[in-house]
């Protein structure tokens, strides 16, 4: 695949639709990205319904029929970008983008907001800048949908486990996640977690097992492992500091945990992520 691919933005904007407002069924000759950042809406692609809440992204492929309307009382606010793409090599990227998915860490929101701002202000070279931002958006969207955002080796990331669940949203598991993240640097028992979450311990275990296929202990460890990956990739903390922040008494315990969970030692991983000085393309 070439390092450069061509897209042409035809329109972009930030829109507010009142309750029941939207667009009637229409045919798309181009592509469109919509991101809901406030309120709720119902989208239809080829007459299939897709309920949307804040943080959801929908990707309308060329040749698709599309309709949508706001469903929440306060209406819905969206970022929208339409574009054409004739580059055959880009099709592989576009085909890997799902019709609906969740914006991880507001990555897509940030990029689309910049595209909209470029179009509104029209600074020097705004078309080139907007096209570059859109290409980055599409590649990030493709990564999110294909679950290739993080190299996690032999471990499945939490968002994959949640996506694979038969129940897409679980208030109980959300509460468990919140507790783990709040206490990730401390030593806590499963009994303490269950008590603060307000659920019976056995019931909590069953929910975690049903939603993720993992025991409670393995699930907690996987959350810690993902946090370790993030800290290695996005901070300059030493491995000792990362281990300490995740509740490990010393580097030896942290290294053993990382190796057992990810199939690679943290020192090997940090060498791959941080110590690369030159990359040939």
pTM over 0.75: no
Residue 85 tokens, joined: 């793409």
Residues 6+ apart with CB under 8 A from 166: none
- Quick one: 149 exposed, middle or buried, by C-beta within 10 A (0-12, 13-18, 19+)? middle
- Gyration radius from the chain CA atoms: 22
Nearest to 139 by CA among 32, 5, 37, 233: 5
What is the biggest distance separating any 2 CA atoms in the chain, rounded to whole angstroms?
61
Going from N- to C-terminal start, the domains of the chain cover: 8-146, 158-274
Q: Establish whether domains 8-146 and 158-274 are of one fold.
A: no
pLDDT value, residue 145 = 86
d(CA 154, CA 119): 43
d(CA 215, CA 198): 19
- In this structure, CATH architecture of domain 8-146: Sandwich (2.60)
Host H or E run for residue 258: helix 251-262
Nearest to 33 by CA among 60, 63, 62: 60
- Quick one: 168 exposed, middle or buried, by C-beta within 10 A (0-12, 13-18, 19+)? exposed
d(CA 8, CA 35): 19
- In this structure, CATH architecture of domain 158-274: Orthogonal Bundle (1.10)
Residue pair 50/100 in contact (Cβ under 8 Å)? The answer is: yes
Strand ranges (DSSP E) for the chain?
A: 8-17, 22-27, 31-39, 41-45, 48-52, 56-60, 65-70, 76-84, 100-102
> Helix or strand or coil: residue 15?
strand
Q: How far is CA 214 from the centre of its chain?
A: 21
d(CA 6, CA 135): 8
pLDDT value, residue 105 = 74
Other Cβ atoms within 10 Å of 253 Cβ, number: 12
Per-residue pLDDT of the chain (281 residues; tens, 9 = 90+): 444 568 999 999 999 999 999 999 999 999 999 999 999 999 999 999 999 999 999 999 999 999 999 999 999 999 999 999 988 888 889 999 999 999 977 889 999 999 999 999 999 999 999 999 999 999 999 988 876 444 444 344 554 555 444 445 678 888 998 999 999 998 888 899 999 999 999 999 998 988 888 899 989 998 899 899 888 888 889 999 999 999 998 999 999 999 888 888 899 888 877 776 565 66
């Amino acid at each position: 695949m070439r390092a450069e691919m061509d897209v042409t933005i035809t329109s972009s904007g930030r829109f507010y639709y009142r309750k029941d407002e939207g667009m009637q069924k229409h045919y798309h000759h181009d592509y469109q990205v919509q991101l809901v950042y406030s309120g709720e809406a119902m989208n239809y692609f080829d007459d299939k319904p897709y309920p949307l809440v804040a943080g959801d992204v929908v990707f309308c492929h060329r040749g698709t029929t599309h309709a949508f309307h706001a469903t929440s009382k306060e209406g819905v606010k969206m970022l929208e970008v339409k574009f054409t793409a004739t580059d055959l090599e880009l099709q592989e990227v576009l085909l890997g983008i799902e019709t609906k998915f969740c914006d991880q860490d507001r990555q897509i929101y940030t990029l689309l907001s910049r595209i909209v701002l470029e179009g509104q202000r029209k600074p020097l070279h705004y078309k080139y800048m907007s096209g570059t931002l859109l290409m980055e958006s599409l590649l990030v969207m493709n990564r999110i949908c294909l679950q290739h955002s993080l190299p996690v080796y032999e471990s499945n990331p939490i968002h994959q486990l949640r996506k694979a669940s038969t129940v897409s949203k679980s208030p109980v598991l959300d509460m468990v996640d919140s507790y783990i993240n709040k206490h990730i640097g401390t030593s806590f028992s499963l009994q303490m977690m269950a008590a603060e979450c307000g659920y019976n311990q056995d019931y909590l275990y069953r929910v975690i097992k049903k939603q993720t296929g993992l025991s409670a202990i393995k699930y907690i460890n996987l959350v810690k492992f993902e946090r370790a990956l993030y800290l290695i990739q996005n901070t300059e903390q030493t491995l000792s500091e990362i281990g300490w922040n995740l509740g490990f008494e010393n580097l030896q315990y942290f290294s053993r945990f990382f190796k057992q969970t990810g199939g690679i030692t943290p020192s090997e991983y940090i060498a791959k992520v941080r110590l690369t000085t030159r990359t040939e393309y």
